[in-house]
Structure 1
Amino acid sequence: MSEIIHFIKDMLAEYGLWGLIFVSFADSSFFPIPPDFLLIPMGIANPDKALFYAFITTVASVLGAIFGWFIGKKIGRPFLKYIISEKRIATVEHYFNKYGSMAILIAGLTPIPYKVFTIFAGILKVPLRTLVIWSIIARGLRFFLEAAIILTLGEAALPYIEENFGLISIVGALLIIILYTVYVMVKKKKKASSS
């Protein structure tokens, strides 16, 4: 399986920006290869375009998330069962039950397959606006963070990201969850005191 993925990745790399757009869109809806595999080498090869690549990757990924949401809404579980196991579906369902729409944020920042969450958001009829907002935040943070690391470390960015990005993204997701929770609590407190 990994040989097939490497072959597809190499083939998409030949298309440059169009390959990056395709893989960014498809990763959020139906494809097994995350865009980081193209974004990072392209950013290292052209550091002056690293932020532009991060922007394009974010936009295409959010559009793919919308497509994934429609897949979930129209086809639902049968499609999910086709691409992942029942055990993984149960795990995703657990995340949505525990964290609500914040599960989209967590998946968007971490190495968890994002498409599963966008499709599941459609199945659960999470408002499309909510999906788009969390997708912009999560995917933007992830891809712009990678671009920032590329701009800071240059060619050393690839091994650094490979070794540390999972941990960095999980910490980032936890910080956002904490900040959001504090924001919601402060908002509720203000509302309670004004009534």
Structure 2
Amino acid sequence: MVDSILNFLKDFGIWGMMFHSFIDAIIFPIPAFFTQVSLSMVDPSNALWLATVGFVGCLLGSPIGYWIGKVAGRSFLNKILKKEWVDSASEMFNRHGEAAIFLGSFTPIPFKIFTILSGSTNFPLWKLMGYAAIGRAAKFYIVGILFYIYGSLAENVINEYFTLISFALFLVIALVWFLFRKFRAKKKAQINASSETE
């Protein structure tokens, strides 16, 4: 059944990619990654355009997933997805919040769990969109760039090293984010200290 759905989406080309990434952020249990890889295999020269379309579709779908979380809460997730996925994502979200969205962009856990959890926990929508934009862009464009450079051979690279590449990129993004927050906190402390002395 999964193959027939993916083949159906693949038949619609770029629009299938857009639709799949859109519903991937809302309710659909199969990640858009699979449609992206299938279509990139067909025409690697189109891989960056597919990555862009997938990225935009995901961002358009994320607020709807967030709204579902606001209205239906976590109980909705337990009805449509594996309990272990929901429990794992919930634990990450409760512990790390912002970082969980970054990490959720790279893990096999469906991204819709994070959009719906964001809504159900009243996590700010603008933060969800900001962190999702960085994380999802990285994931879509890693695949797009690999296919654009290596053509159909990229499938082997993705099968063997995608998790490793994604994790390395996640660490780089997390480090930049951590340093930025530390710098911002230091600046704020300096401003508060100078205002107290005046």
Structure 1 106/72 Cα, relative in aligned 2: closer, same or farther at 3 Å? same
Matches within 5 A, 1:38-57: 38-57=35-54
Which amino acid is the alignment partner of residue 83 of structure 1? Answer: I
2:79 pairs with 1:82: yes
Corresponding position: 1:37 with 2:34: yes
Query: 2:183 is matched by which residue type in structure 1?
Result: V
Distance 2:182 2:109 in 1: 28
**1:94 Cα deviation from its structure 2 partner:** 1.2
Return the alpha-carbon distance in structure 2 between the equivalents of residues 38 and 81 of structure 1. 25
SS in 1 for 2:108: coil
Deviation at 1:8, TM superposition (A): 0.8
Percentage of identical aligned residues = 33
What corresponds to 1:158 in structure 2? Answer: 155
The number of aligned residues is 192
In 1: Cα distance, 2:83 partner to 2:20 partner: 25
Deviations 1:68-88 (A, max 9, x none): 111101111221110134443
Residues 143-182 of structure 1 aligned to structure 2 (within 5 Å): 143-182=140-179
1:28 is aligned to 25
Q: Residue in 1 aligned with 2:7?
A: 10
Match of 1:103 in 2: 100
Q: TM-score, normalised by structure 2?
A: 0.91
Mark the CA change 1:84 to 1:42 in structure 2 (over 3 Å): closer, same or farther: closer
Does the 8 Å contact 2:143/2:158 carry over to 1? Answer: yes
Q: Which runs of 5+ in 2 are unaligned?
A: 194-198
Deviation of 1:44 (Å): 3.1
Q: Which runs of 5+ in 1 are unaligned?
A: none
State how far apart, in whole Å, the 2-side matches of 1:85 and 1:146 are: 26
Counterpart contact for 2:30–2:110, Cα < 8 Å: no
Pairwise CA distance, 1:125? 1.0
Structure 1 residue identity aligned to 2:12 = Y
RMSD: 1.5
- Say if 1:111 and 1:166, in contact at 8 Å, map to a contact too: no
Look at both structures and tell me which one has the larger radius of gyration over its CA atoms. Answer: 2
Measured in 2, the distance between the counterparts of 1:86 and 1:7 equals: 25
In 2: Cα distance, 1:93 partner to 1:156 partner: 36
TM-score by length of 1: 0.92
